Amino acid sequence: MAAGAGQGETMALAGPHSAKATSANPPQRLTVLGATGSIGASTLDLVARSGSAFEVFAVTAHANVEALAACARSCGAERAVIGDATLYKALKDALSGTSIAAAAGEEALIEAASVPVDCTIAAIVGAAGLKPALAAVRTGRRLGLANKECLVSAGDVFMREVARAGCELIPVDSEHSAAFQVLKDAAPESIERIVLTASGGPFRDWPIERIAIASRADALNHPNWSMGSKISVDSATMMNKGLELIEALHLFPVATHQLGMLVHPQSIVHCLVSFVDGSVLAQMAEPDMRTPIALALSWPQRMAAPTKRLDLAEIAQLTFQAADEVRFPAIRIARAAMERGGTAPAVLNAANEIAVAAFLDGRLRVPDIAVMVEETLGMADREGLLAEAVGLEAIISCDQEARRLCREIVAGRT
């Protein structure tokens, strides 16, 4: 299990570039979109440990009023925004007695993200995170990106906005953070291959017959990471790695054939980059999301983080194996969507969200998730939905239509 907030309490001594505000280095202003999720909680854990290095402007959540109010109070945020507009009064009441401004609804989320700060962590789960993240990009400041949909569903549009605004985009996923660190200023022609690693999830060594009868609890029992239900199921099917390949295609100067993956059960090596001279560079760290989050908060410097330090002698052995696309067909399906391009990844992502929700509700088996996604892609193709991604509104429309199609397919199956 990954060390979360409160674990691994021994904190490294501050180095010359540790995150500590001084008169010459004033506090960084920070917004956390999705503050009550695991990424948001880990971000605020680092902020709480960093003394006066950060000032929190805004924190947001979808519907968890109590958790949002608690974290806003704890970090001294100036503003708290709840995505569900009907919960405005509940949030205002929860913040009574403080000077924290309360707001609610999608427009309020976008408005908060539009206020320029030094760094925004974009960790809203799902398509709901697209517009706020884009609003943060348009400020031209640093964005720590933990929302998959921005790149999976809207990668072309999103990256055009990043380039136009001059936004400093720092990936927060451990694998993409690893590639970002290894590549640094490498010339595109020097890169031969980027290989993301995968733990293999709870079903890494299960026979296909056993996966077919796996329970909800089995799928959520990740061996290395502590995550939410949706991403845990994605790890169990290995759809998460397929989505990460699509993200990497937009983040780094490579083509689809230059992206690969390896199953690495220990989750110590997060990415390997092969160069044209035969060198292979890797980034290693204990599986704790506070490491990539700390990098996003402090880039181009590094800040101290209370993570367990890597001891290779203690670990003794690192193992790797090829990903089994028969056991995990989601990898093949995601790669096909990546190669198709346009709106295919948006359809893939939307269908996967619907299928995973149906599995969590007990209406599908684990193998059915990939089947539903592939059938949705096929139907979307027949209906002419797989087209060029021309703009955000078109992508959102495609996302909604793909969800409708997948719901119909799931209903027919169940």
DSSP secondary structure string for all residues of 170-231: EE-SHHHHHHHHHHTT--GGGEEEEEEEE---TTTT--HHHHTT--HHHHH--SS----HHH
Q: What is the CA radius of gyration of the chain?
A: 21
CB atoms within 10 A of CB 251: 22
Helix/strand/coil percentages in the chain, nearest 5? 45, 15, 40
Q: Domain spanning 28-172+289-309: which CATH class is it, in words?
A: alpha beta
> Strand 142-145 vs strand 28-33: parallel, antiparallel, or unpaired?
unpaired
pLDDT tens for the chain, 414 residues: list them.
333 433 333 222 233 334 455 556 799 999 999 999 999 999 999 999 999 999 999 999 999 999 999 999 999 999 999 999 999 999 999 999 999 999 999 999 999 999 999 999 999 988 889 999 999 999 999 999 999 989 999 999 999 999 999 999 999 999 999 999 999 889 999 999 999 999 999 999 999 999 999 999 999 988 776 677 888 999 999 999 999 999 999 999 999 999 999 999 999 999 999 999 999 999 999 999 999 999 999 999 999 999 999 999 999 999 999 999 999 999 999 999 999 999 999 999 999 999 999 999 999 999 999 999 999 999 999 999 999 988 999 999 999 999 999 999 999 986
Alpha-helical segments (H) within 50-103 = 65-75, 88-94
For residue 84, give both structure tokens.
Answer: 């569900």
In angstroms, rounded to a whole number, what is the distance separating the alpha carbons of residues 377 and 346? 10
Paired tokens of 237: 């099917």
By C-alpha distance, which of 306, 246, 245, 315 is closest to 284?
315
Predicted local confidence at residue 11, as pLDDT: 27
User: What is the pLDDT at residue 19?
Assistant: 47
Give residue 126's pLDDT: 82
Q: Length of the chain in residues, anyone? A: 414
User: Smallest Cα–Cα separation from 385: which of 346, 332, 353, 334?
Assistant: 346
Beta-bridge partners for 342: none
Q: Which contiguous run of DSSP H or E holds residue 86?
A: none
Buried b (16+ CB within 10 A) or exposed e, 73-84: bebebbbbbbbb
Q: Are 137 and 161 in contact (CB under 8 A)?
A: yes
Q: What percent of the chain lies above the pLDDT cut of 90?
A: 87
> Helix or strand or coil: residue 340?
helix
Domain 180-277+316-413 has CATH 1.10.1740.10: yes
C-alpha distance from residue 389 to each of 57, 255, 337 (Å): 33, 18, 13
Measured N-to-C along each axis, helices 392-413 and 366-382 cross at an angle, to the nearest 10 degrees, of 120
Domain ranges across the chain: 28-172+289-309, 180-277+316-413
Pick the closest to residue 114 from 51, 157, 161 (CA basis).
Answer: 161
Place of tokens 């181009």: 300
